[in-house]
Amino acid sequence: MLQITNLHASVEGTEILRGIDLTIPSGEVHSIMGPNGSGKSTLARVLAGEETYEVTEGSITLDGEDLLDMDPDERACEGLFMAFQYPVEIPGVSTKYFLRAAVNAVRAHRELSELDAYEFLQLVKEKAQALALDTSLLDRSVNEGFSGGEKKRAEIFQMAMLDPKMCVLDETDSGLDIDALKVVSDGVNALRDGNRSFLVITHYQRLLNYIVPDVVHVLVNGRIARTGGKELAQLLEAEGYAGIEAESGVANGA
């Protein structure tokens, strides 16, 4: 279970997150929607522990463990995974090599034995089958020259390989055509197992037709302005964010 309490975070002295309370019980899928600039990516990056963002108040725990006390790699090992909105390229490092390093780092933390090359490839095969993803990308350098869709697929594949407790997806739908969107959502849905939790960040309701959330939160200007069921997403699609912005009493960018 992920528990965020009164979270405040700023960048270079400007407060971006202004008191967020959010609880995601095990096995649930929550979605965060909101206008551009409302702080969605900031929330994801604060969860993952990026240093640029300073947490000034509040707490974050994952299954009772204090995440704010951990370095980013430790958080990952503890089971937090973030699918990046813009995954970076690492030239010259094959995706396979990278993933094996990641899997073994996580396994070491969980006191599991290191996978040798053979066992690793077996795991790759198994996960690729379960997600109906092809593995040809694995021989290329990490994200290098990948199309937008390939990058997102690779992120989902990594997510499957690392077996996280808590998955954060930051605008995984952005820049995807409908076919790619389906592949990615099918992948995510295949990973829903009743224990794993998801935080799906999106600007558009479209993704939520494929990944159906249990709870939808609307983030406006660094605060959760409204929380509801999946029908809230449809309402937003029809009416836009203006109504909620007005109602929450803060104009975007104020």
CA atoms of 159 and 155, how far apart (whole Å): 6
- 8 A C-beta contact, residue 190 and residue 130: yes
For ligand ADP, the binding residues in 213-232 under the rule CB under 6 A are none
- Cα 13 to its chain centre, rounded Å, is 25
Cβ-contact 67, 47 below 8 angstroms: yes
**Subset of 35-54 contacting ligand ADP (CB under 6 A):** 36-42, 52
Q: Give the distance, in angstroms, between the CA of residue 214 and the centroid of all CA atoms in the same chain.
A: 16
Whole-number minimum distance, CB 76 to other proteins, in Å?
A: 4
Residues 150-169, one symbol each (x = binds other proteins by CB under 8 A, - = not), give --------x---x-------
- 63-102: which residues touch ligand ADP (CB under 6 A)? none
Total residues interacting with ligand ADP, rule: CB under 6 A:
12
Q: Does 81 bind other proteins (CB under 8 A)?
A: yes
Q: How far is the CB of 32 from Mg ion (least distance, A)?
A: 10
Question: Which position's Cβ is nearest Mg ion?
Answer: 41
Q: Which is nearer to ligand ADP, 133 or 218 (CB)?
A: 218
CB of 56 closer than 8 Å to CB of 10: yes
Distances (CA, A) of 40 to 52, 121, 182, 197: 15, 35, 23, 17
From the list Mg ion, ligand ADP, other proteins, none, which binds 93 (C-beta under 5 to 8 Å, kind-based)? other proteins
Stretch that binds other proteins, among 30-38, 67-75, 121-129, 208-216 (CB under 8 A): 67-75
At 38, give phi and psi (nearest 5°): -80, -15
Q: Which residue has the tokens 């073994």?
A: 104
Q: Does 90 bind other proteins (CB under 8 A)?
A: yes
Task: Provide the minimum distance between the beta carbon of 250 and other proteins in the complex, in angstroms, as a whole number.
Answer: 30
Scanning 4-12, 99-107, 132-140, 210-218 for contacts with other proteins by CB under 8 A, the matching segment is 99-107
101 near other proteins, rule: CB under 8 A: yes
Pick the stretch among 27-35, 44-52, 128-136, 200-208 that binds other proteins (CB under 8 A): 44-52
Residue 82, interface with other proteins (CB under 8 A)?
A: yes
Q: Report yes or no: 114 and 107 within 8 Å, Cβ to Cβ.
A: yes
Which residue in the block uniquely carries the two structure tokens 């960048």? 11
| Total Cβ atoms within 10 A of residue 154 | 21
Amino acid at site 241: Y
Residues 25 to 64 in contact with Mg ion, rule: CB under 5 A: 40-41
Helix (H) or strand (E) segment spanning residue 200: strand 197-202
What are the residues binding Mg ion (CB under 5 A)? 40-41
